[in-house]
Amino acid sequence: MRWQDQYLFNRQYFHGKLESAELGVRAWVLLRNFQPYCSRITGQKMTYVSAAVKLNGFCYRENWLENLLVSASMYGYRQ
């Protein structure tokens, strides 16, 4: 929640139109879900995964940006 609070503070919270604020927050959250991060647990192998990969249990592509694009398109549709 600290990341989100800092993001909203930098954008002057909801300064402007509500629609632009909503789109900005949605874009920020989407990027945060697909950006890789590293666990802070010491003694384990340093693996960089994103929250979306941990939730889905698989990864479409190695590059996180390609993974975002595939997941957001119909190519990521699974039956």
* Spatial contact of 33 and 71, defined as CB atoms under 8 Å apart: no
Which residue reads 């402007």 in tokens?
Answer: 16
What does the pLDDT read at residue 23?
Answer: 84
DSSP class per residue in the chain: -HHHHHHHHHTTTT-S-HHHHHHHHHHHHHHHHHS-EE---TTS---EE-HHHHHHS--S-SSHHHHHHHHHSGGG---
> Is pLDDT of 72 > 60?
yes
Tell me the domain boundaries of the chain: 2-76
Q: Is the predicted pLDDT of residue 75 greater than 80, yes or no?
A: no
Digit-coded pLDDT (tens) for 17-70:
888 888 888 888 888 888 887 666 656 666 667 888 888 788 888 888 888 888
Which pLDDT does position 74 carry in this prediction?
63
Give the count of beta carbons closer than 10 Å to the beta carbon of residue 67: 21
Q: What is the pTM assigned to this prediction?
A: 0.59
* Tokens matching residue 17: 């139109």
pLDDT value of position 44: 65
Cα–Cα distance for residue pair 76/34, rounded to 1 Å: 14
